[in-house]
Amino acid sequence: MNISIFGLGYVGVVSAGCLASRGHKIIGVDINENKVDMLNKGISPIIEKDLPELLSQAKEKGLLSATTDTANAINSSEISLICVGTPSRANGSLNTKYIENVCEQIGDCLKLKKDAHILIFRSTMLPGTNRETIIPLLEKRSEKKEGKDFFVVFNPEFLREGTAVYDFNNPPKTVIGASTPSIADKVLKLYEGLPGPMIKTTLEVAEMVKYVDNNFHALKITFANEIGHICKKLGLDSHDVMNIFMQDTKLNISTYYLKPGFAFGGSCLPKDLRAINYMAKMLDLETPLLNSLMHSNNVQILATIKQIILYGKKKIGIAGFSFKAGTDDLRESPIIEVIETLLGKGYDLKLYDKSVSIAKLMGANKEYINNHIPHISSLMVDSLDVLLKDREVIIIGNNDKEFERLLSDSREDQIIYDLVRIGAISNARSNYQGICW
């Protein structure tokens, strides 16, 4: 394919070299004449392993050129990659002026172009930027319609400096955000044969994925550093500790605990988090990340209570109030705090959890139930049908399979508030609402 690449910075030049190595004809575009001249000579304007060889080979094969002329680039290509910078403003907000300037120029050129054109944005942008800013700007300048005369795609990059060529050819995933499936398929062909899943999604989800990736990386670095300082104070080798930690790919390095939902609880996480924060304090260490986790968890509990109050209904049913399905453990179950707060505010509550019902009669938690939460015990009912009969709001508190029927068996006038994303929510009725989705 003939591809123009706008912005000959890090992402743009790496994309140029790697796409040219896959046989595509590349024309780079930049306002910096020095970068344009270097690329026209097959010389890399950035330092990056393996990139000089790729650009030199592309130049020899006649697959690489560069220009400052936007119209020439648009008319000479069927696809454009936009890789200009989106830096931060002083207040932390995203500065999109450079990408808007490029889009104004591209829009003016599209106005005169007969053939439909595909615009692939690789510049990192906040969710909604393409839909709310970029597309309207392009439509205004081109006097054409996105989805008909031109197509906007968001294709986030996952390149690390120093290994960018390797990363381009060995991506963990390839994400294409587009409104037109056939266009998404065409863009995916640029990366045909590369490893990793090929994912088609919406523009907004694709935009958000890049932020989730980078913020999680920042979280991991900060977490490791705080653990490192604690280990050092204790005379431990933090790398020994973390190397053992990372060998657990069932829980630690895995997809577990990365699904949005309700607050954490149980007999381990809150207790151990408080203990390590106390120890850090005794060691005279600042661990702001670890110290913030309980607060963030409490915010999730308070947000849930606030949402229930906003419904303006008094008859509330709780389906599942042990801290997770298949257990009778109520120790530090966050839903207990919700229940007690609602009781204190005069709500009419009914509770159902088959595991807790068994524990009430004979389980290890019988004493805990009778001695610590007898007021809650008295609100328990024997079946889900009791909740379905007269509750105005039913809260799904854990992911017991039994609760999936609430999605279909509830009445239209009953609100189902899901804290765990139970079952196939795509089949849920209009009265369904999830806590984080």
Catalytic residues: 268
Strand order in the sheet with 348-352: 348-352, 315-319, 393-396, 415-418, 432-434
Distance CA 399, CA 387 (A): 16
3-state class percentages of the chain: helix first, strand second, coil last, to nearest 5? 50, 15, 40
Whether residue 140 contacts residue 106, with contact meaning beta carbons closer than 8 Å, is answered with no
Structure tokens at 201: 């999604």
Structure tokens at 127: 């969710």
Amino acid identity at 136: P
Whether residue 85 contacts residue 12, with contact meaning beta carbons closer than 8 Å, is answered with no
248-256: long-range contacts at Cβ-Cβ below 8 A with a sequence spacing of 24 or more?
none
Contacts of 1 (CB under 8 A, 6+ apart): 24, 25, 77, 78, 79, 190
